[in-house]
Structure 1
């Protein structure tokens, strides 16, 4: 992508009867415009939809009712183009779904030790090297690594002193990071879970809510803090503090996603109604947005397509904006 602000080529709107929060682009080359989206309602009536582009706009292809809002949805990283696609979601537990023409539940994964009263899951990540592996984070301060084929926990650890709010795998199988309510970001290695490395720790103990690990440059992570308009960029080679901080938003940042084709481009979405794309230049130079897009509402979540890297999706109250930039 050029350093000059790109122009929108296509701009699609998809309207829903509820607030959209979780979303994921398909990784199937045969369905590059497909998205899974989830509702966020304070009732026991929530929905997951599969939507896809027709000749003019997006339309719902199938819908599945769920009891609780799904805090995250991800399609499998599998890019083989198999007819049947898998995607996963978390809320009260980890669910694996299968999608052909309809959505069907493949498995429900619950920690046996907490089966009667499982603590809500805040987020998860799908390992892109070992497709049988998913890591989940929970409000009970733990993270679990699941084998979704055997439907069992491979490993479980207390990740934080308070809630574990997010988890993200680095390149490869073994390294992952977590963000927590104790204001820290920590790195773990599946080969030695007896210890962890604190990559970032806030003196004010404000919770770190989300993190994203650049899959193209494994030295860089980004995290956002509760009620903060600042995005913190970390370099795991330098644990003395953030390598840079992104200061372009005017209200709290809610979501972030690295570019699938550039190790130093980051997409962020905020309550200030703006989606920004940043070119991360490191500590010696200030980073500034190379692209901005404004909508009529707070942006709850953002995603970038790995199949079509120029496509982004923005979730907000009652709908989606899907852009080719």
Structure 2
């Protein structure tokens, strides 16, 4: 990485606040770039865009912008070829998509599926579709999942994860994960229930469309193999 002398093995950057969320950029023209979200116990929080200066072999802050509440998750657009606009999404009270420029970052759109109320259910997480970057999915503390179309800013699908009196997946005290097909969001493709404690993390395998890893509070992870039905 360094242009002068032997390159470092460990790079450090000290943020001015507790870091709550972070994500690597995958754009080929923006190497070694991170987005960092703050955890400050008040309404006003921050997001920093940090990049590696290869001359000095140090990470430096290239941009900082305000964010309401801490970001529960942030994610760069999964654009490995650099063909889409340089976008960053953040979740908190709402899902926000930001357009990153050379000198400033501005809000591109705010996605809100509860426009008829002054109150909102905070978003606990989201994910960006790697095959079609115009699709994003969010999970909410009110036990709903929503699929968004980025081009229109409209809801493409929504599923309520409460069945009768039993709360199901993607909430803090439950032990199951539901696999959904966005074309038929009301009918789960599969239910994964091998954990003995609440599920607090999930990740699809980057090399396979039918493998997912889930993590639970018992500090173990289990790999599930499901039939690919999409």
TM-score normalised to structure 2 length? 0.85
**197, 203, 227: which is aligned to 1:212?**
203
- Computed over aligned residues only, the root mean square deviation of the Cα atoms, in angstroms, reads 2.2
1:184–1:198 CA contact under 8 A, matched in 2: no
2:69 is equivalent to residue 79 of structure 1: no
Greater fraction strand: 1
**224, 233, 238: which is aligned to 2:223?**
233
> What residue number does 1:106 align with?
108
2:191 is equivalent to residue 199 of structure 1: yes
**Highest RCO, 1 vs 2 (Cα 8 Å, sep ≥ 6):** 1
> What residue number does 2:160 align with?
158
Secondary structure, aligned partner of 1:193:
coil
Task: Go from structure 1 to structure 2 and tell me whether the alpha carbon gap of 1:148 and 1:163 turns closer, same or farther (over 3 Å shift).
Answer: farther
Measured after TM superposition, the shift of residue 218 of structure 1 is 2.3
TM-score normalised to structure 1 length? 0.61
Q: Whole-Å Cα distance in 1 between the matches of residues 110 and 87 of structure 2?
A: 13
Please, which runs of 5 or more residues in structure 2 have no aligned partner? 1-6
Corresponding residue pairs, total:
215
> Runs of 4+ in structure 1 displaced over 4 angstroms?
none
Measured after TM superposition, the shift of residue 151 of structure 1 is 0.9
Q: Whole-Å Cα distance in 1 between the matches of residues 77 and 84 of structure 2?
A: 13
- Give deviations 1:84-125, integer Å, cap 9, x for gaps: 510101000000000012111111111135542110000001
Task: Go from structure 1 to structure 2 and tell me whether the alpha carbon gap of 1:84 and 1:198 turns closer, same or farther (over 3 Å shift).
Answer: closer
> What residue number does 1:24 align with?
23
Measured after TM superposition, the shift of residue 223 of structure 1 is 1.1
